[in-house]
Structure formats: structure tokens, C-alpha cells
């Protein structure tokens, strides 16, 4: 019986490890954050975020992140409302989507506690405009059932690439500001749990 148990325990651990390596991973919205910085009047920077993000990583390495633009949170209610109406136009464009592809082996080869940098080719669809992005991300295997993916450096988006220039100008006029930068740094940390 002891010999049988000695054989079964390592086998069961191997199976658990194989299952977690092959799992689909789902973003935990409560343990994740996507933020961006707006710069007004030349050098006044403010940090904003989106409250609702979803998506995940499939076994084949396909990744998708969906951002509910209605959930923009700047800390000022009237500004949130103006961003929804004049910048993002959420009635017409309710969400932005980022897609990317990771090597399945990259994830399956990570051991618990291991953290690795990788460059990811991605595509961001925002305001019905799609642009390629290169993302430097750090992926950490927190446990057999949890991954942490963070931006190793901010991604700088140009509003003109997504036809948002007019919206930024409307916000500037409404707020009575001399300028709002059209370069927007974005950063994120994403917690993904195995399904």
C-alpha cells in the first residue's frame, strides 16, 4: 500500500501541474488595474483609471483585454461624464479591445515564483481605430492558479492615432484649459486566475 501511495502522490502532483499549465486564465477585475495619465496646462499630470476590465489568456496563447470605457474614473464626476460623452463617445463606442499573442510555452515553462520579461506584439482597437503596439510586460507565476502581468514600462498612446483629437479639444474648451497633451501614458497590472 505504501508503495502504491508513493507512486500515486508524485503522479497526482504532476497531473495538477500539467492541468494548471494548460489552463485558460481569466482576468480578475478586482485585483487588476488599467490607468492612464492626462497632462494639462503643460505640466499638470493626473492619473485616471478604468473600473471595469475583462478578458483572459487562452491555452493557445491568444490574449484579449476588454475595457469598458463607460467605467472611466478620473475622481471628478463631471469630468468622467464629459470624457464619456465627448472623448470616448461611449454610446457609439462602448469598449476598447486589446488583443495579443503569447507563446504557450512561455507560460507553461514558468515555475511558481518565477518572473520573466517579454515583448508582446498587440493590437489596440479604440474608437473604431486599430493600431499595432509593442508591449514590454513582466509575467510572474504567483501560484499554480494565478499569474500577474504588469507593464514593464508605460505605453504612450497618441490620441490622433485613434481619431480622438477632436474630443480632446472639446474637453479643453469645456474646462477652459490652455492645453491638454495628446500623448497619453498608459500602464497596467493584471491578475489572471486559472479557470
Q: What span, in angstroms and rounded, lies between the C-alpha atoms of 72 and 186?
A: 13
Homologous superfamily, domain 23-194: Lipid/polyisoprenoid-binding, YceI-like (2.40.128.110)
Q: pTM, whole model, 2 decimals?
A: 0.86
Q: Which of 112, 180, 162 is nearest to 142 (CA)?
A: 112
Taking alpha carbons only, the member of 118, 123, 117, 147 closest to residue 57 is 147
Q: Cell 499573442: give the residue.
A: 101
CB 96 within 8 A of CB 102: no
pLDDT tens for the chain, 195 residues long, are 555 445 444 444 443 433 334 469 999 999 999 999 999 999 999 999 999 999 999 999 999 999 999 999 999 999 999 999 999 999 999 999 999 999 999 999 999 999 999 999 999 999 999 999 999 999 999 999 999 999 999 999 999 999 999 999 999 999 999 999 999 999 999 999 998
Amino acid at each position: 500500500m505504501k508503495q502504491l501511495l508513493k507512486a500515486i502522490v508524485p503522479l497526482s502532483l504532476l497531473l495538477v501541474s500539467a492541468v494548471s499549465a494548460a489552463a485558460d486564465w481569466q482576468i480578475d477585475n478586482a485585483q487588476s488595474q488599467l490607468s492612464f495619465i492626462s497632462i494639462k496646462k503643460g505640466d499638470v499630470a493626473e492619473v485616471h483609471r478604468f473600473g471595469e476590465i475583462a478578458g483572459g489568456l487562452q491555452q493557445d496563447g491568444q490574449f484579449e483585454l476588454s475595457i469598458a470605457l463607460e467605467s472611466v474614473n478620473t475622481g471628478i464626476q463631471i469630468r468622467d461624464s464629459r470624457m464619456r460623452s465627448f472623448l470616448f463617445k461611449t454610446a457609439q463606442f462602448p469598449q476598447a479591445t486589446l488583443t495579443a499573442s503569447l507563446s504557450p510555452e512561455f507560460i507553461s515553462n514558468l515555475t511558481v515564483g518565477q518572473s520573466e520579461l517579454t515583448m508582446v506584439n498587440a493590437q489596440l482597437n479604440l474608437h473604431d481605430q486599430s493600431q499595432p503596439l509593442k508591449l514590454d510586460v513582466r509575467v510572474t507565476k504567483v501560484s499554480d492558479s494565478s499569474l500577474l502581468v504588469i507593464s514593464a514600462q508605460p505605453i504612450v498612446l497618441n490620441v490622433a492615432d485613434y481619431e480622438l483629437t477632436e474630443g480632446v479639444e472639446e474637453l479643453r474648451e469645456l474646462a477652459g484649459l490652455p492645453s491638454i497633451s495628446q500623448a497619453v501614458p498608459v500602464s497596467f497590472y493584471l491578475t489572471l486566475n486559472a479557470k
